[in-house]
Amino acid sequence: MGHRGMPQKQANGYTILTVQPTLPQPIDLMTEPIESIEVSLGDRSYPIWISTGLTESAEQPHFAKHFRAAVGDCTHVVLIHDAAVSNTIASRVEQQLDQAGIRITNISIPSGETSKSVSMLESIWNTMLESGTDRRSIVVAVGGGVVGDLAGFAAASFTRGLRFVQVPTTLLSMVDSSVGGKTGINLPGGKNMVGSFWQPQMVWINTQSLSTLPDRDFISGMAEVIKYGVIEDAEFFSWLQGKAARLIEKDAETLRYAIRKSCESKARVVAEDERETSGRRAILNYGHTFAHAIEATAGYGVCLHGEAVSIGMQMAAHLAIDMELCDRSLLEEQTAVLSAAKLPLAWKDADPEKMLPVMSHDKKVSHGKLRFVLPDRIGHVAMVGDVPTEKVTAAILACRDEPYG
Whether residue 69 contacts residue 61, with contact meaning beta carbons closer than 8 Å, is answered with no
* 182 among known catalytic residues: yes
| Catalytic residue flag (residue 305) | yes
Tell me if residue 206 is catalytic: no
Residue of 285, 295, 318, 380 with catalytic role: 285
Q: Chain centroid to CA 300: how far?
A: 16
The backbone torsions φ and ψ at residue 366, rounded to the nearest 5 degrees and listed phi first, read -130, 125
CA distance 24 to 308: 27
Name the phi and psi angles at 202, rounded to 5. -170, 150
Q: Which of 32, 87, 160, 367 is catalytic?
A: 160
- Give the 3-state secondary structure of residue 298: helix
- Cα distances (Å, whole numbers) of residue 51 to 70, 95, 277: 16, 18, 33
Task: With beta carbons less than 8 A apart as the criterion, state whether 288 and 309 touch.
Answer: yes
- Strands 15-18 vs 380-385: parallel, antiparallel or unpaired: antiparallel
* Strand blocks (E) in 33-148: 34-39, 46-51, 76-82, 103-109, 138-143
User: Of residues 281, 318, 364, 380, which has the active-site annotation?
Assistant: 281
Q: How far apart are CA 186 and CA 396, in angstroms?
A: 23
160 is catalytic: yes
Instruction: Determine the angle formed by the axes of helices 62-71 and 89-99, rounding to 10 degrees.
Output: 60
User: Considering 66, 191, 305, 371, which one is annotated as catalytic?
Assistant: 305
318 is catalytic: no
Strand partners, 286: none
Assess whether 276 carries a catalytic annotation: yes
Query: Catalytic pick from 62, 92, 103, 182?
Result: 182
Helix (H) and strand (E) counts for the chain?
Answer: 13, 12
Q: By C-alpha distance, which of 241, 232, 220, 307 is closest to 262?
A: 232
CA–CA gap between residue 164 and residue 128 (Å, rounded):
14
Q: Which of these is catalytic: 92, 163, 261, 288?
A: 288
Q: From the candidates 224, 264, 274, 307, which is the catalytic residue? A: 224
Q: Out of 266, 268, 318, 380, which one is annotated catalytic?
A: 266
**Angle of CA points 257, 261, 264, to nearest 5°:** 140
Check 276, 333, 342, 363 and give the catalytic one: 276
Query: What is d(CA 309, CA 55) in angstroms, rounded to the nearest whole number?
Result: 35
What is the set of active-site residues?
A: 160, 182, 224, 266, 276, 281, 285, 288, 292, 305
